[in-house]
Amino acid sequence: MKKTSWKEKAKQLKTEIYALYLACRDPRVPWYAKALMGLIIGYAISPIDLIPDFIPVLGLIDDLIIVPAGISIVIKMIPKDVMEECRQRAKAEPINTKTKWIAALIIILIWVLAIYLVLRFIWPFLF
């Protein structure tokens, strides 16, 4: 049995995530699969968790269980032929650099907004 390196696994994960992105933009995918994917992405990048991260072990386990389980459910909701087609497209065409920068900018803006809200509304109550 061939062992796969961490780099290979990371590349496979990156391809799978890009395939999910492509699938969610496909009109053949049901709206509820797209909505669930949006919720999962929102949960993954949100600073608010069901179990706060500062709780030892449990705080990180919820991220390690909820996000992959949600992605697995979304993959099952997407028609197999559509998902396979999107996987092939993800392997054939690399992620556009412009798309990477836009995604990074959105995540940075969400964090800046979160920090601003904390400083604006919570900081005065601490001092």
Q: What would the two tokens of residue 18 be?
A: 């890009």
Whether residue 33 contacts residue 77, with contact meaning beta carbons closer than 8 Å, is answered with yes
Alpha-carbon distance of 79 to 72, in angstroms, equals 13
Would the pTM count as exceeding 0.75? no
Predicted local distance difference test score (pLDDT) of residue 29: 93
Give the Cα separation of 24 and 89 in Å (integer). Answer: 13
- Do 59 and 52 meet the contact criterion of CB atoms below 8 Å apart? yes
pLDDT, residue 45, reads 66
Q: What is the pLDDT along the chain (127 residues), one digit of tens a residue?
A: 567 787 787 778 778 888 888 898 899 999 999 999 888 877 776 767 777 777 777 777 777 788 888 889 999 999 999 999 999 998 898 766 777 788 778 888 888 888 888 888 877 777 6
The strand ranges marked E within the chain are none
Closest CA to 78 of 44, 27, 42, 41: 27
Structure tokens, 110: 């969400």
CA-based angle 43:10:51, to the nearest 5?
A: 25
